[in-house]
């Protein structure tokens, strides 16, 4: 096929714009308030003893907030370590200039990946003797010590040495000359459940199992090895879970995983999800709205079409269940959420215009909508809501 040979190309060059020339707030975007992260970290740290360290968990691009921005502000707030899930996430942070210790929480099991971790100064999580041996060999190869954290399973049945095996194998691991055991840790499975302070709860049993194991390998007073167990929920539950360090994600972003919220704790959500009104129309009574016509207007209705949909990460099963804020008032979303757009009933509002900004998540005036609200309606957890937001939503830093 041949294109017509006109001066089309010249016109294209003259009028083309680059992607970066498009206003990030042209359609829908996420605003990230770095100062809120900093304040949350500071406040959470005030619940810890002076010697207890704070690891900021910034996996999944900082729970969708932008890992680099979150890391910088968490460090300002006093975080001394960072946690990521993958090798790539760790390398990305390192190459953006973050120089705090970084722990890879996921499992690396090939020599190739472990060498990459070593060369980027990333600490792997080690769950078996086999991986330990690989690390020791890598250390030997470079004439250095490979820093790592050992993980034990105390009831999650995911990563980690089996606890009995760990007790047997620890002496051998300690004798490896080219590894440096920076930490020993475990992970709680159910700390956000209501019964977690009950001595018979699985959370307390995990804690006891972990303590017993540390006693058996005689490292409970060894401050060269950092002992850590708590995620956000564990941290907020009780200081018995703190040990030498806590690994905090959700609460640093401004949301408590616990149903019972500590009244002295005033966490501030760092994420705002905002969208522009792209179109306004008025429909009569009895008119179907969106795919499947699941919503039918019961009166003459003014609709705002918002430029955001499930391809941006708004769960489709929230259709008809959420509200949107504009100037301190809530407006119901109606009809099926589509891939790129959704409709909102703005009947009675004269202020909302094409180009107005509405708030899907965050606060405006005294109205707040949280990922916890969405999670409840969507039958999931706030963690999943936060890390569902796609790259199509530009992240805009505000302070």
Binding mask 189-228 for ligand PLP (x = CB under 6 A): ----------------------------------------
358 binds ligand PLP (CB under 6 A): no
Catalytic residue among 59, 151, 226, 276: 59
291 is catalytic: yes
Q: ∠72-74-77 over CA atoms, to 5°?
A: 115
Q: Which is nearer to ligand PLP, 139 or 249 (CB)?
A: 249
Choice from 147, 232, 301, 388 touching ligand PLP (CB under 6 A): 232
CB burial class (10 A; 0-12, 13-18, 19+) of residue 280?
Answer: middle
**In the bound complex, what is the minimum distance in angstroms from residue 240's beta carbon to ligand PLP?**
17
Q: Which residue is nearest to ligand PLP (CB)?
A: 249
Rounded least distance, CB 192 to ligand PLP, Å: 7
Shorter beta-carbon distance to ligand PLP: residue 160 or 313: 160
Q: Which is nearer to ligand PLP, 250 or 322 (CB)?
A: 250
- Min CB(158)–ligand PLP separation in Å: 9
Region label for 260, one of left (φ > 0), alpha (ψ between -120 and 50) or beta (otherwise)? beta
Q: Where do the DSSP E strands lie in the chain? A: 28-33, 53-57, 81-84, 102-107, 122-126, 146-153, 161-162, 179-185, 226-228, 245-248, 271-283, 288-289, 295-296, 301-306, 323-326, 329-334, 342-345, 357-364, 367-369, 395-398
Q: Please, are residues 349 and 331 in contact by the beta-carbon 8 Å criterion?
A: yes
Q: Is 46 buried (19+), middle (13-18) or exposed (0-12) by CB count in 10 A?
A: exposed
Q: Which is nearer to ligand PLP, 187 or 276 (CB)?
A: 187
- Which is nearer to ligand PLP, 78 or 320 (by Cβ)? 78
Helix ranges, 143-231 (H)? 163-175, 202-216
Q: In the set 39, 45, 65, 187, which binds ligand PLP (CB under 6 A)? A: 187
Site string for ligand PLP, 100-129 (x = CB under 6 A): -----x------------------------
Binding segment for ligand PLP (CB under 6 A), chosen from 12-20, 242-250, 275-283, 362-370, is: 242-250
The yes-or-no answer on residue 59 being catalytic is yes
Residue closer to ligand PLP, measured from CB, 147 or 231: 231
Beta carbon nearer to ligand PLP, 248 or 318: 248
At residue 375's C-alpha, the angle toward residues 359 and 195, to 5°, is 135
Q: Looking at residues 246 to 285 of the shown chain, list those that interact with ligand PLP (rule: CB under 6 A).
A: 247-250, 257
Binding-site member from 127, 203, 231, 319 for ligand PLP (CB under 6 A): 231
Alpha helices by DSSP H, the chain? 8-15, 34-45, 59-63, 67-76, 87-95, 111-119, 129-142, 163-175, 202-216, 232-237, 371-378, 382-386
Shortest Å, Cβ 223 to ligand PLP: 21
**DSSP-derived 3-state class of residue 185:** strand
Cβ proximity to ligand PLP: between 105 and 343 the closer is 105
**For ligand PLP, which residue of 36, 44, 57, 179 counts as binding (CB under 6 A)?**
57
Q: Compute the C-alpha angle 229/230/233, nearest 5°.
A: 155
Question: What minimum distance in Å lies between the beta carbon of 366 and ligand PLP?
Answer: 27
Strands 53-57 and 271-283: unpaired
DSSP reduced 3-state for 101: coil
Residue of 215, 239, 291, 353 with catalytic role = 291
Min CB(125)–ligand PLP separation in Å: 8
The rounded distance, in Å, linking the Cα atoms of 108 and 132 is 11
- Binding residues for ligand PLP, how many (CB under 6 A)? 12
Phi-psi label, residue 61: left if phi above 0, alpha if psi -120 to 50, beta otherwise:
left
Give catalytic residues, as residue numbers: 59, 291
Interface residues with ligand PLP (CB under 6 A) are 57, 59, 105, 187, 231-233, 247-250, 257
């Amino acid at each position: 096929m041949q294109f017509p040979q006109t001066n089309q190309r010249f016109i294209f060059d003259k009028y083309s714009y680059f992607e970066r020339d498009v206003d990030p707030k042209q359609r829908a975007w996420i605003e990230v308030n770095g100062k809120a992260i900093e304040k949350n970290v500071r406040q959470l740290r005030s619940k810890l003893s002076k010697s207890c360290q704070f690891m900021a968990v910034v996996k999944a691009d900082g729970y969708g907030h932008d890992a680099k921005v979150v890391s910088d502000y968490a460090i300002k707030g006093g975080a001394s370590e960072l946690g990521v899930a993958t090798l790539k996430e760790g390398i990305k942070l390192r190459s953006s200039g973050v120089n705090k210790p970084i722990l890879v929480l996921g499992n690396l099991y090939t020599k190739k990946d472990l060498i990459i971790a070593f060369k980027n100064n990333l600490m792997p999580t080690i769950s078996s003797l086999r991986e330990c041996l690989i690390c020791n060999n890598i250390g030997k190869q470079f004439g250095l010590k490979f820093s790592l954290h050992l993980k034990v399973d105390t009831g999650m049945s995911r990563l980690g040495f089996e606890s009995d095996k760990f007790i047997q194998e620890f002496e051998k691991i300690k004798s490896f000359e080219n590894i440096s055991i920076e930490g020993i840790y475990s992970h709680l499975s159910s700390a956000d459940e209501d019964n977690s302070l009950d001595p018979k709860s699985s959370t307390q049993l995990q804690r006891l199992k972990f303590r017993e194991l540390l006693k058996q390998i005689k490292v409970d007073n060894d401050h060269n090895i950092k002992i850590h167990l708590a995620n956000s929920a564990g941290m907020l539950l009780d200081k018995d879970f703190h040990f030498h360090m806590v690994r905090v994600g959700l609460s640093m972003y401004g949301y408590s995983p616990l149903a019972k919220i500590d009244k002295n704790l005033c966490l501030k959500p760092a994420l705002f999800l905002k969208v522009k009104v792209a179109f306004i129309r008025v429909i009569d009574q009895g008119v179907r709205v969106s795919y499947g016509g699941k919503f039918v207007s019961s009166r003459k209705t003014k609709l705002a079409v918002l430029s955001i949909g499930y391809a941006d990460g708004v769960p489709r099963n929230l259709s008809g269940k959420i509200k949107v804020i504009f100037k301190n008032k809530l407006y119901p979303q109606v009809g099926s959420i589509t891939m790129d757009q959704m409709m909102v009933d703005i009947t009675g509002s004269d202020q909302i215009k094409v180009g107005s900004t509405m708030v899907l998540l965050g606060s405006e005036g005294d109205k707040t909508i949280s990922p916890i609200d969405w999670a409840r309606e969507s039958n999931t957890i706030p963690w999943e809501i936060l890390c569902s937001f796609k790259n199509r939503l530009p992240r805009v830093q505000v302070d």
